[in-house]
Structure 1
């Protein structure tokens, strides 16, 4: 995620938060320079992110204090 989506996610999403993600998945492939073994990594491009848990769930998850104010349900 980049831009505004990333800013909002950083502010409201915590470890253990229930979220929904819509986007695309692709893999990058390359050969390791030292071993020659083929390597790969997933690349997830997020189109939308939805906070699925309640505000109370998000406040209690991960031992974080209240986020204060409302937060968007989808961004």
Structure 2
């Protein structure tokens, strides 16, 4: 599940409007809308402010990308 889908689902589970969630998290309504619409570049500190309402925070997650290690200089290439 993508973060925008997760936030929207959690918000609806606790019956908050986007405006109410923005007030509780201390972020702007525009930020909440951008987050739920899946905007590609967002400030992680603000994302965490929203996620903390539900007991979560941003962290590293293993991706589905295949990783290739070159024999030449041991750098990981994606």
| TM bucket normalised to smaller | under 0.3
What TM-score does the superposition give when structure 1 sets the normalisation length? 0.27
What TM-score does the superposition give when structure 2 sets the normalisation length? 0.27
Higher normalized contact order (CA 8 Å, seq sep 6+, divided by chain length): 1
